[in-house]
Amino acid sequence: MTFSDKVHTLFTYLFHPKQSTQPVVPSNQDQKNGERAESSNKEPYSQRKSEIYNNDQFGALSEVAASEPVEQPPDEQRARIPSLEQRLSKSTFRAIVPSGASTGTNEAVELRDKYTSVYGGRSVQTAISNIETVIGPSLVESRLRVDTDQKKIDQVMKDLDGTKTKGKLGANAILGVSMACARAGAAHLDVPLYEFLRRESGAKKPFVMPVPFFNVLNGGAHSGNEMAFQETMIAPVGASSITEAIQMGSEVYQELKKVIVKQFGLSAIGIGDEGGFAPPISRPNEALDLLVQAVSNLGYTGRIKFAIDPASSEFFQAGKYDIGFKGNSNVKSPKELMDLYRSLLENYPIILLEDPFAENDWDSWTEFNKMCPVELVGDDLLVTNTEYVQMARDKKACNSMLLKINQIGTISEAIEAANLAYSFDWGVFVSHRSGETTDDFIADLVIGLRTGHIKSGAPCRGERVAKYNRLMDIEADLLAHGEECLYAGSQFSMANKL
Ligand SMILES: O=C(O)[C@@H](CO)OP(=O)(O)O
């Protein structure tokens, strides 16, 4: 299928919503005349059409369409991820929405069709139909502008949905439109996406390039080994630029492969969902020892630090944590788990700890935060939602927010949550999902919001490196335009204040 065929197919989705599983491509004559095939039971569209085209010059939405491509599925369950196209004048703006494996209970709701015969009940035709029959027509009719009305556009979608969790239209449907509108807004203003997001967020200049946290050893719900802790990351804080940081991270990743082969043999270099290796280890200190070895072999000791995301909600049951939940059970009380973290922090150069306790184990969070010497990041705990961010602040539960755009479902709300976190002097750590796509939106987001750190998996697999490549492009772009461009380095937690 050529690109233009695809565009026509997507048009057809818009005008034949009831036939979206078998799209009808308009005839050549229709295309030549700039006309679209119209659904017989959708008369209002044809009446609206001239307004749609007239709106273009003012930055209003002309069309919204959606499709269901397969995007880098880490497993079959997350194989179908909705994308959408939004048309402004003659340009097309696209966004693809990710999905997670270890999700927080309070995340915005992702709509899946549950027809068990199709993609194991994980297809997204309902979300697509919601974009085409509800969101698209309403936004076109609203005459809102993509260059100035991002918040209003997002609010229209929230109102159309009407639920607290976006469970009626689907956060996957709403977020795709929100992201594509931001891209369209940037294009309409003739600025890069990161600059559009900077203006939306109110972040100041100069631009700050983030420290990339590479998840090079996968465990938990993201791999098949017995390691309970989900992510063990390396962070090149001692680099002088994002480009050097990515080079250092990639070199360590390749060196780590050699260290693993030496210790466990060639069969141990399989990777997990986020591109990190998943050797046959089960204890966190085994993972950290592998990293110490790889980093030291390359002479990077001191310049590369470590981070851990145990994703502990995954192994919390009846008030206790089973850190052997994938193999030989090893149950720990919250206090014993705290002692384990303290000993890891004392013995390894760890600078960040994410979700060390479960999303509903608030007391442990608060207790640990009293004496925590590193960035303590809430992911499942906060779900990028101002309500939980405020609650965590009131309980003094953590000092940093993980930012995942699909946890909340619109770009405006993600920005709002980041700004609330900043108002508490917290860090903001931008994150991909385990079921990620090749969309590189979050690379621009981390620059626009000046968050100073990002995690996008290992330097491996297209959907992970897409973000790192985009960051290097942004750095090159800024320097070429004479913009000041700092590297967050060891100041990653407070990059918004640099
Ligand atoms: O726990 C996490 O932080 C993420 C991303 O690494 O995983 P998931 O997308 O599965 O929630």
pLDDT in tens, 36-65: 333 333 322 222 222 223 234 557 777 777
Q: Is 308 in the pocket of ligand 1 (CB under 6 A)?
A: no
Cβ proximity of 235 and 307 under 8 Å: yes
Please give the pLDDT value at position 199: 98
- Of ligand 1's listed atoms, the one at least distance from the Cα of 434 is 9
Interval between CA 455 and ligand 1 midpoint (Å): 10
Q: Is residue 320 among the annotated active site residues?
A: no
Q: Is 434 in the pocket of ligand 1 (CB under 6 A)?
A: yes
List the residue whose alpha carbon is closest to atom 8 of ligand 1: 100
Cβ proximity of 200 and 448 under 8 Å: yes
Q: Which of 49, 158, 166, 404 is catalytic?
A: 404
Name residues whose C-beta falls within 8 Å of residue 480's C-beta, 6 or more positions apart in sequence: none
Q: Lowest-pLDDT range, 55-64, 96-105, 351-360, 459-468? A: 55-64
pLDDT tier for residue 86 given thresholds of 50, 70 and 90: very low
Is the predicted pLDDT of residue 354 greater than 50, yes or no? yes
- Of ligand 1's listed atoms, the one at least distance from the Cα of 104 is 11
Interval between CA 89 and ligand 1 midpoint (Å): 37
- Of ligand 1's listed atoms, the one at least distance from the Cα of 431 is 5
Mutate to test the pocket of ligand 1, among 223, 352, 431 (most ligand atoms within 8 A of CB): 431
Please give the pLDDT value at position 67: 72
65 bridge partner residues:
85
Q: Provide, rounded to the nearest whole percent, the portion of the chain with pLDDT above 90.
A: 78
Distances in whole angstroms, Cα of residue 462 to Cα of each of 184, 203, 230, 274, 364: 24, 30, 21, 10, 37
Rg (CA), the chain: 23
Please give the pLDDT value at position 58: 56
Using the Cα atoms of residue 478, residue 480, residue 481 and residue 485 in order, give the sign of their dihedral: positive
Q: Is residue 274 among the annotated active site residues?
A: yes
Q: Is 103 in the pocket of ligand 1 (CB under 6 A)?
A: yes
pLDDT in tens, 119-141: 888 889 999 999 999 999 999 99
What domains does the chain contain, in order, with CATH numbers?
99-190 (3.30.390.10), 198-497 (3.20.20.120)
Q: Provide, rounded to the nearest whole percent, the portion of the chain with pLDDT above 70.
A: 84
ipTM: 0.99
Termini Cα distance of the chain? 48
Amino acid at 350: I
Question: Using CA atoms, how far apart are residues 452 and 439, in angstroms rounded to an integer?
Answer: 20
List the residue whose alpha carbon is closest to atom 5 of ligand 1: 433
| Three-state DSSP class for residue 202 | coil
Q: How many CA atoms lie within 13 A of 425 on its CB side?
A: 1
Please give the pLDDT value at position 337: 98
Whole-model pTM: value is 0.86
Name residues whose C-beta falls within 8 Å of residue 448's C-beta, 6 or more positions apart in sequence: 193, 194, 195, 196, 197, 198, 200, 201, 203
pLDDT tier for residue 90 given thresholds of 50, 70 and 90: low
Name residues whose C-beta falls within 8 Å of residue 61's C-beta, 6 or more positions apart in sequence: 55, 86, 87, 88, 136, 139, 140, 142, 144, 146, 181, 184
| Three-state DSSP class for residue 454 | strand
Question: Using CA atoms, how far apart are residues 256 and 264, in angstroms rounded to an integer?
Answer: 12
Question: Using CA atoms, how far apart are residues 196 and 199, in angstroms rounded to an integer?
Answer: 5
Q: What is the mean pLDDT of the chain?
A: 86
Question: Using CA atoms, how far apart are residues 477 and 439, in angstroms rounded to an integer?
Answer: 19
Interval between CA 214 and ligand 1 midpoint (Å): 13
Question: Using CA atoms, how far apart are residues 314 and 219, in angstroms rounded to an integer?
Answer: 11
| Three-state DSSP class for residue 89 | coil
- Of ligand 1's listed atoms, the one at least distance from the Cα of 354 is 3
Cβ proximity of 205 and 482 under 8 Å: no
Interval between CA 403 and ligand 1 midpoint (Å): 11
Amino acid at 250: S
pLDDT in tens, 439-483: 999 999 999 999 999 999 999 999 999 999 999 999 999 999 999
Question: Using CA atoms, how far apart are residues 310 and 244, in angstroms rounded to an integer?
Answer: 28
Cβ proximity of 341 and 321 under 8 Å: no
Q: How many CA atoms lie within 13 A of 317 on its CB side?
A: 9
Question: Using CA atoms, how far apart are residues 168 and 357, in angstroms rounded to an integer?
Answer: 30
Q: How many CA atoms lie within 13 A of 263 on its CB side?
A: 18
Pairwise pLDDT comparison (78 vs 122), residue with the higher score: 122
Six token digits for residue 384: 């990028």
Interval between CA 86 and ligand 1 midpoint (Å): 28
